[in-house]
Amino acid sequence: MSKSDKETLRFYAETAATYVASGPGGVSRHLAMFLGLLAPGSRVLELGCGGGRDAKAMIDAGHQVDPTDGSPSIARQAESLLQIPVRVMQFEDLSADAEYDAVWANASLLHVPRAALPEVLSKVRAALKPAGLHHATYKAGGKEGRDSHGRYFNYLSRDEVVDMYRRSGNWEVISVSEYVGGGYEGQQGPWVAVLVRRLD
């Protein structure tokens, strides 16, 4: 399996408009907490911006946001909302060096194959300035697989999430929480949220 799963990318390419329209009207449940930790005017990289709702909220809060998505079709949908360029980028192509105060990855890194995730997280860490913050959410379950739409998920348990970050570099794990959340299929299930800080 490649780092960017072709079947998952095909799903987002073919359903971009429907997928973006299907999401809840509000932003991520974790975004207010995250924004409360940022200094005014922080530079934030968003990985997997989807339709752009979280990016818009961050921009409206006065932050400098670099929104990215792996799907060109989804990126175009986000550009329509944000009225700024949305960079098309696969996670493994991230090459920034200490450029960002924070990296936001809501329901996006869950598509990275388990074997590749530590390397991708090391790139996330490298993109952060010293003491920079990173928040991500993952569908839980403890066993990788595909959903009914053919999308790949790494389905990490709480302990596996912590292990992935520890394997990827020197992080301070600030918080790891389990919760019940929804998804494109409209079903509720277990999720894990993690907040970490880059240490040097």
Per-domain boundaries in the chain: 6-198
Tens digits of residue pLDDT in 98-155: 999 999 999 999 999 999 999 999 999 999 999 999 999 999 987 898 987 888 989 9
Mean pLDDT of all residues belonging to the chain: 90
Handedness of CA 170, 175, 178, 181 (dihedral sign): negative
Give the Å distances, CA to CA, from 35 to 44, 57, 75, 77, 174: 10, 9, 23, 24, 15
User: What is the distance, to the nearest Å, from the Cα of residue 41 to the centroid of all Cα atoms in its chain?
Assistant: 20
Return the CATH fold of 6-198. Rossmann fold (3.40.50)
Could you tell me the pTM of the whole model?
Answer: 0.90
Q: Are 58 and 82 in contact (CB under 8 A)?
A: no
Q: What percent of the chain has pLDDT over 70?
A: 88
Tens digits of residue pLDDT in 24-54: 557 899 999 999 999 999 999 999 999 999 9
pLDDT at 20: 56
Residue 17's contacts (CB-CB under 8 Å, 6 or more residues apart) are 77
Least confident interval from 6-15, 116-125, 172-181: 6-15
